[in-house]
Structure 1
């Protein structure tokens, strides 16, 4: 993290140009609000707020002295110290600044975690999938571990039957198993292909079939099976008793 304020301006530098440059490249802008700021830095405030509205920067107003800041465009922002009470109005100003620091740290931590978390890459949903032939199913199944292809009766349409892929995952406990399902739902929502789940404590049974093609198997099912296998490795397994 690099901190900067106008006190770091070098002699001979065009101060307005340099401030605008910093406003355009900052991740967090802390505005120290006082009557003088409202009167003389309104243009810089507007520039910061435009980037804030575009979700390019996080603007944090810090209220130093009493002023009608809520009547300005800043009024829509959560200010520091807590409840927007100016620093000079606190009985203990050290406590006020400590409150400000804690608030800024929360914002910095949130932005850092967001940047460190890689974006989830989802596959493009397939359109009008074709059923796989028996040989294609057999070849695809060889690239997976623990999955079985079984016939089943279509719920509510017996004796109509179909084919499904089935696998049972074992996790440390119910919370871990549920976390696995919840995380998988992000991928499933984008793929728009939904498994049938059966969960008992730390055991999750996943059943896959493509209803749109008469309860046969498609590439959807094998793509999702591969994803579930990769995802399951990120969760604590059930410890085997010695």
Structure 2
């Protein structure tokens, strides 16, 4: 997956294609509502996929919520196609675990 920094126009297009993800500087974020133990299982599932694709999110587990923050550290914390690919995978994993996306 491409790890070249995206232009502002490309980022806007990618965000439009990933509803629910928001931009926070050079990171995209999304929070899901899920029971604590379900959140742990979701995180393990995401971590398995991240290991396979070689790209990782920052993950924050709270009681009833999991927040994902994604950027590409190896290109100076810039957004790349790899970030949006991982976001799509996290959306699929969240749905499989019954996680409810919180509104942005």
Query: Structure 2 length normalisation: TM-score?
Result: 0.90
C-alpha RMSD of the superposition: 1.3
Shift of 1:192: 1.0
Shift of 1:237: 3.8
Greater relative contact order (CA < 8 Å, ≥ 6 in sequence): 2
Partner of 1:165: 28
Aligned to 2:77, which of 204, 215, 220? 215
Shift of 1:236: 2.8
Shift of 1:220: 0.8
**Aligned partners of 1:237 and 1:224: how far apart in 2?**
16
**Aligned partners of 1:199 and 1:186: how far apart in 2?**
17
Shift of 1:185: 1.1
Shift of 1:225: 0.1
Shift of 1:170: 0.7
Structure 1 residue 181 and structure 2 residue 46: aligned?
A: no
Shift of 1:145: 1.6
Bigger proportion of residues as strand: 2
**Aligned partners of 1:188 and 1:222: how far apart in 2?**
13
Q: How does 1:131-210 map to 2 (within 5 A)?
A: 131-151=5-25, 163-171=26-34, 173-210=35-72
Q: How does 1:1-242 map to 2 (within 5 A)?
A: 126=1, 129-151=3-25, 163-171=26-34, 173-237=35-99
Shift of 1:190: 1.1
**Aligned partners of 2:36 and 2:7: how far apart in 1?**
37
Q: After the TM superposition, list the runs of 4 or more consecutive aligned residues in structure 1 that deviate by more than 6 angstroms.
A: none
Partner of 1:14: none
TM-superposition CA deviations, 1:163-218 (whole Å, max 9, x none): 100110111x1100010000111110011111101110120000000011110000
List alignment gaps of at least 5 residues for structure 1: 1-125, 152-162
Partner of 1:44: none
Shift of 1:223: 0.2
Shift of 1:227: 0.4
